[in-house]
Structure formats: structure tokens, C-alpha cells
Amino acid sequence: MSNIVAVVGRPNVGKSTFFNRLIKRREAIVDAVSGVTRDRHYGKTDWNGKEFSLIDTGGYVVGSDDVFEAEIDKQVELAIDEADAIIFMVDVETGVTGMDEDVANLLRRVDKPVFLVVNKVDNNKRAEDAVEFYSLGLGDYFTIASINGSGTGDLLDAVVAALPEKEEVEEDELPRFAVVGRPNAGKSSFINALIGEERYIVTDIAGTTRDSIDTKYNRFGFEFNLVDTAGIRRKAKVKDDLEFYSVMRSVRAIEHCDVCLVVLDATRGFDGQVQNIFWLAERNRKGIVILVNKWDLVEKDTKTAKEFEQHIRQEIAPFTDVPIIFMSVLNKQRIYKAIETAVEVYKNRTKRIKTSVLNETMLSIIEHQPPPAYKGKFVKIKYVMQLPTPQPQFAFFCNLPQYVKDPYKRFLENKLRDHFDFTGVPVSVYMRKK
């Protein structure tokens, strides 16, 4: 399970530039998935062989200046709670501000590694100016320039060295289904309804479930772990419902599961926060089922469900091959259908296709509709295989892999879906040199 590093600080100190720099550096190498930048505030990166999740809190601050301070305090508290290490960024151009001092006060009481980082230091004069940040009482600082990356290497060496070693959790081999979504969408009620006992205290206050809890569950002759991700906090911590928090909590559960059941409240719709969680699951290549809860509260006519579903599919394009189930936990409507669908998605995700069948099917399709010629050169695809990964990934071997563009890869992905049923599962298509 990877560590979480949160980047905190007041607005406009360069957090997002720093974040993008780290994430891009890796994404360019590791996974050129189209549509990756949907959610610009969460990403995975690695340094010296150690992988961690990076969360840029800056993207989550909304509102005018007077609201900023309260928001930032809230985010710093959440980061303190959830992250394994914290990067506190300040700006040498403006010097120490009152807001910086507030954040420093919160961080001085923390029992986790905190790195004070002075940004925009790109010459000697500025390096001298940085000395005033000693006044924050957080000890030594790192000077960097996010814009060109100078100084980030030393900082990352220190961060990675300070991250706690994650004990390898003893994995039972059971599939893990994580129930994720924004607070009060009905996650705990859903699990209670399935288990038939009040394991989780369900209240109307966002903020009851504290940690993700696993429950062994057996149905349809299939055994698995249900993980409730506690999109929420204990009462002492309940502040305004915060996107940053939901996403941060979901990160751990999603990285660690096989199928995500994304629960949303029908009365609120498929809003930005739910979309963030959806793309988080998609980017981690997990199986996904979308559960529209509280459907009993929506005024309906014959077209309502169809229109609601179309809207969701528009938002999640191009990955539209995802099951959407309308349910009411309160009335126990379709809750078992939700689990049955998750089991099917799990089976789709772990499906292996024989190489002979794959080639027979795909090569005849490719023959009828080959990749378009590029710069007068013709791409010839000779052979296909499924890679030995936990989720479906396919390598197509050809003479000129660099000339096969995204639209054709999507065409191949759609054909794989048509013939082999990968509903609910992201499929990766790679072109390799024969």
C-alpha cells in the first residue's frame, strides 16, 4: 500500500506547479493513458524506487480570501490526519505571511515528517532572502524552484527517506470490493443492508465512520471482502463536507481493492466529487460499478432513469462500458443486484483469453480495418497477446508502433469489449515493436 504525501500551503505559492512537475515526470514514462489529467490533484509518483501518492491540496480551495483561511486550516488538519508526510510550501517572493504562520502553528504540533519548502528560489539573492522562514519554527528548510525543478531532487531524497515502511499486510486471497463515494451517499447503510446487522452506526451527520472496515461476505456462492471506506469522520472532526477529504480517504481504499462500488446520492447527481472518485478508480485500473442510491426519492416518469444514465455516460466518456444500477438501500431495492454485478465485473477483470482465440478474432478485424497509413507508411499488426497483469492489458505487435494513434487504439479496445465482455473494467492497449 503506498504512502500518501500531502502538499499544503496558502494559495499561489506554486503547489500545483510542483505537483504537476512530479506527476508528469512519471506519467510520461509510466502510463500514457489518455484522459489522465482529468483530476489534477491526485497522482502517483516514485523516487529512488519508492512509490507514493501525492495530493495537492491547492486544487481544493474554493471561495474568497476570507474563506481561504478556514479552508486551508481544514485541509492542513485533514492532511495531518491522513498523510504519512507533509510538504509545507511557502513563497520567497512574498516572505512570511500571517497565513503561513497559521499553517506553521498547526504543523509544529504534528508527529509526522514535515518538510518546509521555500519555492521560487532561482538565484543567490533569493536564497539569502529565504533565511527569514526560520522564524516559522519548523527548523531547516529546502529551497526549490518548481518552475524549472531545481532543488526538488534533494527534497524528494529527504521525503522518501522519511516515509514509514508500510508493513506488507497479510493478504487473504479474497477479492476486495470497496464501497466509495461522498459522505452521506448511503455507503454504510448499503453494507448494513447486505450484512443484515447494524455493524456500522448510521446517522445523518456526515462523520460517523472513522476507518475503512472489512467485512467478509458470501453470496451467489462467491466469497469476498467488503470494504467500507468511511468517506466520513468522527463527530469531533465534522466540518463542512470537503471534496479533498473524500478523495483522500478514497485513495487508500481504491488503491487496495479489486472492484469499486461508487455510490452516489440520486438527489445530488453525478457531481464533481463523485467524478473525482470515479476517475481515481479508473486511473488505478480497478473494476467499477456505479450505484445510484436513494432512487426512491427522485420524482420519476418513464424516461427519468434513461436520461440520468445517459448523463452519467456522457461524463465518463470515453470509458462508458460501466454498469449503472439504480437502487434504494432504504427499500432494499436492487441491493443484491449491485453485488451480483460487482462479482461479474471482478470476473471480467481477472479474465484470461487464450492467445489463439485472441489472434483469430482480432487479426481478422484488423485485416478488414487496418490502422490508417501515416506519412505514407503502412502499419502491419502481426500478433496479439494478453499481458500477465492483474487487469486486462493487451500488446499488439507491429512494425511501426509509433504510428498507431489513440483513435485506433480505442477502436481496438472497443472490439475487445464487443467480443470478450470487459464491462466495468478499464482495458489497456499497447503497441509493441515486433
Task: Give me the mean pLDDT over the 265-271 stretch.
Answer: 93
Choose among 262, 390, 240: nearest CA to 325.
Answer: 262
CA distance 424 to 345: 6
| pLDDT value for 5 | 92
| pLDDT value for 38 | 35
Q: What is the pLDDT of residues 78-90, one digit of tens each?
A: 777 778 999 999 9
Element holding 222 (H helix, E strand): strand 222-228
CA distance 138 to 370: 61
Could you tell me the maximum CA-CA distance found in the chain, to the nearest angstrom?
70
CA distance 53 to 45: 6
| pLDDT value for 198 | 52
Q: What is the pLDDT of residues 277-317, one digit of tens each?
A: 898 899 889 999 999 999 999 998 888 999 999 999 999 99
Q: What is the pLDDT of residues 361-381, one digit of tens each?
A: 999 999 999 999 998 999 999
Q: Which residues pair with 114 in a beta bridge?
A: 86
What percentage of the chain carries pLDDT values higher than 90?
52
Choose among 230, 170, 164, 166: nearest CA to 201.
Answer: 230
Cell match 444500477: residue? 325
CA distance 39 to 4: 17
Contacts of 188 (CB under 8 A, 6+ apart): 200, 201, 202, 208, 209, 228
DSSP H helices, 219-266, are 243-255
CA distance 183 to 160: 32
What CATH architecture applies to the domain 355-433?
A: 2-Layer Sandwich (3.30)
In the chain, domain spans:
4-162, 176-350, 355-433
- Confidence category of residue 112, pLDDT binned at 50, 70, 90: very high
- Confidence category of residue 234, pLDDT binned at 50, 70, 90: very low
| pLDDT value for 405 | 93
The annotated binding site for GTP is made up of: 9-16, 56-60, 119-122, 181-188, 228-232, 293-296
User: Hey, do 4-162 and 355-433 end up sharing a CATH topology, with the first three levels equal?
Assistant: no
CA distance 174 to 38: 31
Task: Give me the mean pLDDT over the 163-170 stretch.
Answer: 69
CATH code that applies to domain 4-162: 3.40.50.300
The annotated binding site is made up of: 9-16, 56-60, 119-122, 181-188, 228-232, 293-296
CA distance 185 to 303: 23
Quickly count: other Cβ atoms within 10 Å of residue 131's Cβ. Answer: 11
Q: Is 316 helix (H, G, I), strand (E, B) or coil?
A: helix
Residue 410 has pLDDT above 70, yes or no: yes
What percentage of the chain carries pLDDT values higher than 70?
82
Q: Lowest-pLDDT range, 17-21, 105-109, 139-143?
A: 17-21
Residue 113 has pLDDT above 70, yes or no: yes
Do 246 and 231 form a contact (C-beta atoms < 8 A)? yes
Distances (CA, A) of 205 to 196, 235, 273, 370, 380: 22, 8, 18, 56, 59
Fold of the domain spanning 176-350? Rossmann fold (3.40.50)
Residue 359 has pLDDT above 90, yes or no: yes
Q: What is the pLDDT of residues 47-56, one digit of tens each?
A: 888 888 888 8
